[in-house]
Amino acid sequence: MSPKSKRTRAALTALVVAAGALATTGAVQAERTHPGQQQQHRRPGLFERTATYPVFQNRPAGDDPAAGTVAEISSVSEDGRTLVHTDAVARRIGFLDITDPGRPRGLGTLSLARLGDAEDEPTSVTVVGEYVLVVVNTSASHARPSGRLDVVSLHDRERVASFDLGGQPDSIALSKDKRYAAVAIENERDEDATPPGRDKGDLPQAPAGFVQILDLGRGATPAHWRTRAVPLTRADGRALPVLAEAGITEPTDPEPEYVSVNGRNQLAVTLQENNGVVLVDLPTGRITKAFSAGTASVRGIDTVDDGTIDQSGAIEDVPREPDAVGWIDDRYLATANEGDWRGGTRGWSVFDSRTGRPAWDAGNSFERLAVRHGLHNEDRAGKKGSEPEGIAIAEYDGVPYAFVGSERDNFVAVYDVSRPTRPVFRQILPATNGPEGLLPIPARGLLAVSSEEDDAEAGVRASVSLFRLGRGSDRTPSFPGIVSADDSDGAPIGWGALGALSAAPGRPHQLYTVTDAAYSTTRVLTVDTAHRPAVVTRQLTVKDAAGRPVGYDAEGIHARPQGGFWLAVEGGTGAENKLVRLDARGVTRQIVPLPAN
């Protein structure tokens, strides 16, 4: 198997390991703690998966089960029992019955072809009362953006109203008092276009984006709802002074990405490519503040795609370029700094909306969560790393939580944000590939995570996963089953794609495992099983006979009672099959060729 295939398999292996842990029902009693758990067994309020629903199972009758279908952004009925999600690939909206969180049930779909055109694409969705608000991109091209908002009855799925949005929409948010909905009209750039005097994909690219406010009133029917546009540029296309003075990148072409509303009906809008945030007063439609998301330097991360989890790299003065945003309270807001055009800082930040300054930043801690839990996608190291894309804030049992989703490393990190300027990591939730939509359902103690990656041939299907908040103070979730301790430099030991185990002679609570060709250098890892979860405590680099680090495609390991190890090595071709004997220092001492078949 080629190294590239091995790396692909490594990503799938991480998914399988996560799925295996997810399939385990019930929690296990904590025995000891480790750096990734932060003494979780002493705290109430941890989330445990109840079910994962592959959305292809909810396809229309007669559709090919292998056809692409995804779950991106989701919302839920006011009773918390019907989940609605977008499916941009199949151009439809999906409905799930989550009355029993352990057994979600498909309720069918609504094709956008019924509401407009077969090429219409849903970008976001929310539910207010008995209505589903579906945000639809109808753009013919980047230069001719358009979109609409369809109001659909939750009961019979008939459209009862439709509103022209005047541009290409992205996300939608509902105010807590349900008087307003706000839509980010992105009018996104064409990454293949070259503006005059600029490079390919650069800004500015007209037309500029803006915000649409939908006035819902107090109990008014959709027939009486009205839209109001909030321009983010002057009528002649010049930059608004409030954006230019705030240091917004390319303020003549703002591209709104994500929206969130606080309890004072103050809207926060991220301008991802512009690396900024704009605040809008919803009742008046007035821009009250704009500020740059700034830059960050992050050290102690893996920045090179070389098959090695090397956390000695750094990024310097990189724009945060936030994607999702969520209000923690009426003062502080949090952003997921995914990056797009020029940036992405591999973490998330908390901003003080009064000053526009960062009040807290994750630094390298978010990316290191992935490494510690075996979820680090080394193939993305040279790009934007873990790519935190989604963020959601909600209060459960009086505790405010922040949920931050990693698009590339396939997990959701959970934080206690009781003190907004000092978030505390609580746990990590594994997700199927490409988690995008994070939907807290606090009234039922649930969290829904919708994932957009779908590859039937690889056995990876887009899904909606449900997690439920537990209340036992002496229980830990079934995931993770294994984590790593820190190495001598204070970084978590990198691991993944583990497929071989050996008992350690004379040590009943110790195992050895070995990495395979997913990584360029082979390492033997020591696992302490007296902890729960088990802990990777040491790593031993495997070397050739000359003492140089070497990469074997190791599929088996045996710890020799007299010291050292035997490795069973599977080559890229049958002729490379062999047994390799290592001494206690990891140096190759003997090679025994094996038959090609």
Does residue 30 surpass a pLDDT of 50? no
Determine the average pLDDT of the residues in 341-347: 97
pLDDT band at 596 (very low <50, low <70, confident <90, very high): confident
Determine the average pLDDT of the residues in 310-325: 98
pLDDT for 43: 53
Distance of CA 107 to the CA centre of its chain: 26
Determine the average pLDDT of the residues in 496-511: 94
CA–CA dist 138, 160 (Å, integer): 19
pLDDT band at 38 (very low <50, low <70, confident <90, very high): very low
**137: which 2 tokens?**
């991109």
pLDDT for 208: 98
Question: Amino acid identity, residue 479?
Answer: F
pLDDT for 476: 76
> How would you classify the pairing of strands 523-528 and 588-593?
unpaired
Spatial CA neighbour of 566 closest among 521, 505, 517: 505
CA–CA dist 336, 351 (Å, integer): 11
**167: which 2 tokens?**
């541009």
Q: What is the pTM of this model?
A: 0.92
Does residue 433 surpass a pLDDT of 60? yes
Spatial CA neighbour of 364 closest among 296, 272, 436, 270: 296
pLDDT band at 108 (very low <50, low <70, confident <90, very high): very high
Phi/psi for 113 (5° steps) reads -60, -30
Task: Give the chain's length.
Answer: 597
Question: Amino acid identity, residue 417?
Answer: V
**Domains along the chain with CATH numbers:** 498-593 (2.40.10)
pLDDT for 155: 96
Spatial CA neighbour of 109 closest among 57, 161, 148: 57
Contacts of 303 (CB under 8 A, 6+ apart): 313, 314, 315, 381, 382, 385
pLDDT band at 39 (very low <50, low <70, confident <90, very high): very low
> How would you classify the pairing of strands 411-416 and 463-469?
unpaired
Helix (H, G, I), strand (E, B) or coil at 286: strand
Does residue 243 surpass a pLDDT of 50? yes
Phi/psi for 111 (5° steps) reads -75, 135
Does residue 19 surpass a pLDDT of 60? no
Q: Which residue has the tokens 């989703």?
A: 405
Quick one: which H or E segment has residue 11? Answer: helix 3-23
> How would you classify the pairing of strands 534-541 and 554-559?
unpaired
Average pLDDT, the chain: 92
pLDDT band at 197 (very low <50, low <70, confident <90, very high): very high
Contacts of 48 (CB under 8 A, 6+ apart): 27, 467, 468, 470, 477, 478
Does residue 336 surpass a pLDDT of 60? yes
What is the share, in percent, of the chain residues with pLDDT greater than 90? 88
**Tens digits of residue pLDDT in 504-522:** 999 999 999 999 889 999 9
**Tens digits of residue pLDDT in 276-317:** 999 999 999 999 999 999 999 999 999 999 999 999 999 999
**494: which 2 tokens?**
């990198």
